[in-house]
Amino acid sequence: MYFVVAGAGEVGFHLSQALLEAGHEVTVIEADRRRANFVQEKLGSIVMNAPADEGRAQMEAGCSRADALIAVTGDDAKNLVICQLAKFRCHTPRVIARVNNPKNEIVFKTLGIDETISSTRVLMNVIEQELPAGGFMPLMSLAGSANELIEAEIAIGTPPAGKTVGSLRLPSGALVGGIIRRGKLMHADEETKLEVGDRVMVFSPTASESEVRKALFG
Amino acid sequence: MNVVIVGCGRVGGFLAGLLDAEGHRVSVVDIASTSPARAERAWFQHLPASFKGETILGDGTDLEVLRQAGIERADALLSLTEGDNRNLMAAQIAHKIFGVKQVIAKVNDPVRAQTYREMGITTFSRTTILGTLLHAMLQEDREVGEVLMRKALAHEADLIHEPAKAR
């Protein structure tokens, strides 16, 4: 596949390297000449020294034939505009934005950029996964749709404990994809009884996240 | 009219002064530097001394900061910072999230300006505006150019007679 990576900072550099090692074709766009030269020395002539937030640079980098563009600069406003330009001008089928301020994830979604990666949120999720009970975490958004995967742990005294999956009052469009019980992944259907400590995997429309939380925790 | 202006450089400060003098409710947002006490004096220095509106130190692309500036009851938002991308982000937040009817963003890259104009954000570039004005003055649109120039000079005269705002 062909990927355009906007920004050759630490994230952009290592991402490009990993994509190359996986056998993909990559172009990195980097505005800073010294940084561009450095990356060129390391990774070969896949670097374009230009501002990625300019339409012309994106055209030259071949965004219109790219399978995906990933904007990973340290500036949220820049990442937003890079992705919007690629999506709306070059019709790049898939655009992914790095979001530095996690509050901007919802802003980006509202403005047409569905796929965002927030390292702050990823770290928060890792920390929260260590919590003993009652954890509720949206794990990831699902590409190309307004849905996400949520993991939640059934806690003592909550409505679902001891009840069946079918009796959960999940919002429409949400479904239980499986359960991790005592470290083992198991299939869940309407009749499956939930136990305290079960980790439930729920696929849900992103907009209904709070209703899922309510169904699981009351 | 309730107006939010993001970016209080020379243009932002000038426009805030004009609208405020006409009786509009204006709030001005500008980003805080690492030393807030110094930044406040430095960044709002382009406002005229008579300015009665609000000044808010903060990032104009932050929803909370925009709420503080009264975006929820604003009739218009103008984003006039030095960064095209920040201006476009603030303008889109105002338009798509807060439903502000009139949003205008300063965008100096013509490609970006055109793309976002097609998406419903009014954009202008200092380069094309100034260039067009000068062209009008020299060419057949002499009258248009002269009217604009006369207005601008009158505003400038008002502004120069006022000392800069000490805040």
Q: What is the pLDDT of residue A185?
A: 92
Q: Which residue of A has its CA nearest to B64?
A: A103
Tens digits of residue pLDDT in A69-113: 999 999 999 999 999 999 999 999 999 999 998 889 889 999 999
Instruction: Check whether B148 has a pLDDT greater than 90.
Output: no
Higher pLDDT, A32 or A197: A32
Q: Which residues on chain B are in Cβ contact (under 8 Å) with A63?
A: none
Of residues A55, A77, A101, nearest to B115 (C-beta):
A55
Q: Which residue of B has its CA nearest to A55?
A: B111
Cβ-Cβ pairs closer than 8 A, A with B, add up to: 54
Structure confidence at residue B42 as a pLDDT band (50, 70, 90): low
Report which of residues B96 and B156 the model is more confident about: B96
The pTM assigned to this predicted structure is 0.75
DSSP class of A5:
E
What is the pairing mode between strands A95-98 and A25-30?
Answer: unpaired
Collapsing DSSP states into helix, strand and coil, what is residue A168? coil
pLDDT band of residue A183 (cuts 50, 70, 90) is confident
What whole-number distance in Å separates Cα of residue B46 and Cα of residue A117?
38
Is the pLDDT confidence value at A131 over 60?
no
Which pLDDT score, from 0 to 100, does residue A132 have?
47
Distance of CA A117 to the CA centre of its chain: 5
Within chain B, strands assigned E span 2-6, 25-30, 54-57, 76-79, 102-106, 122-124
Q: Which two tokens stand for residue A73?
A: 């600069």
pLDDT tier at A130, thresholds 50, 70, 90: low
- Answer whether A81 sits within 8 Å of B112, measured CB to CB: yes
Kindly indicate the confidence band of residue B166, based on its pLDDT and cuts at 50, 70 and 90: very low
What integer best gives the mean pLDDT of chain A?
90
pLDDT greater at residue A134 or residue A94: A94
pLDDT digits 0-9 by tens, A136-171: 877 777 777 788 898 888 888 788 888 899 999 999
Residue B85: which of A77, A110, A111 has the nearest Cβ?
A: A77
Which 3 state secondary structure label does DSSP give A45? Answer: coil
Give the helix/strand (H/E) hosting B158: helix B142-160
Q: DSSP string of A65-106?
A: T-SEEEE--S-HHHHHHHHHHHHHTS--S-EEEE-SSTTHHH
Query: Contact A46/A28 with Cβ under 8 angstroms?
Result: yes
Point out the residue among B84, B97, B111 whose CB comes nearest to the CB of A56. B111
Q: Which residues pair with B6 in a beta bridge?
A: B29, B79
The one-letter code for the residue type at A156 is I
CB contact A42 to B (< 8 Å)? no
Share of chain A above pLDDT 90, in %: 59
Q: Closest Cα of chain B to A33: distance in Å?
A: 20
pLDDT at residue B110, rounded to an integer? 82
Q: What's the average model confidence in pLDDT over A13-41?
A: 96
Q: B152-162, pLDDT tens digit by residue?
A: 888 877 766 66
Residue pair A207/A146 in contact (Cβ under 8 Å)? The answer is yes
Most confident range, picked from A101-105, B65-69, B118-122: B65-69
**B112, B114, B116, B123: best to mutate for the A interface, most A CBs within 10 A:** B112
- Nearest residue, CB atoms, A110 vs list B61, B96, B115: B96
Give the C-alpha separation, B39 to B31, whole Å. Answer: 9
Contact B61 A76 (CB under 8 A): yes
Q: Return the exposure string of B5-35: e unless at least 16 CB atoms fall within 10 Å of the residue's CB, then b.
A: bbbbeebbbbbbbebbbeeebbbbbbbeeee
Residue of A nearest to B92 (CA): A111
Quote the ipTM score. Answer: 0.81
Q: How far is CA B98 from CA A26, B66, B93, in A?
A: 38, 10, 7
Partners of residue A6 on adjacent β-strands: A29, A71
Q: With CB atoms and an 8 Å threshold, state whether B85 touches A81.
A: yes
CA dist list (Å): B116 to A6, A49, A56: 20, 25, 15
Confidence band for B32, pLDDT divided at 50, 70 and 90: low
Q: How far is CA A106 from CA A36, A114, A119, in A?
A: 32, 9, 15
Q: Mean pLDDT across the stretch A45-63?
A: 94
Contact (CB<8Å) A54/B112:
yes
